[in-house]
Amino acid sequence: VYNTKTLDDGKFESHNNYIDIQILLEGHEKIYYTSTSEVSVDIAYNAEKDIMFYSDSIEGYDSVTLDGTNFMMIFPHEAHAPQVSVDDISLPVKKLVVKVRV
């Protein structure tokens, strides 16, 4: 359980070793996404945590709204910015994330 972020606070990230399957159980949020080749690395890959962060703004990129009736499957070549509020209002959500090793 967490509160969603504003568009300005959203940050692209990616994982090398896992596919993320993200399913909202309560509330709604946006996940912005793009190819990792389209964004610039901000914080280098951390192998222990399997995560890398990118410096580009998420504004203007494609997004999916999770609302409990759908899910998003995110592959290692996709940068994604999860936990973004739908209406720019921070609201609590509950999410299940399944990680599938590749």
The reported pLDDT for the residue numbered 32 is 98
Averaged pLDDT, 40-56: 98
- In the predicted model, is pLDDT for residue 30 greater than 90? yes
Output the CA–CA distances (angstroms, integers) from residue 65 to 27, 40, 49, 84, in the order listed: 11, 24, 26, 9
Q: Is the pLDDT of residue 16 over 90?
A: yes
Residues of the chain above pLDDT 90, percent: 98
pLDDT over threshold 90, residue 88: no
Residue 82: pLDDT above 90? yes
What is the overall mean pLDDT for the chain? Answer: 97
CA nearest neighbour of 3 among 33, 20, 27: 27
Q: Residue 21 burial by CB count (10 A; 0-12/13-18/19+): exposed, middle or buried?
A: middle
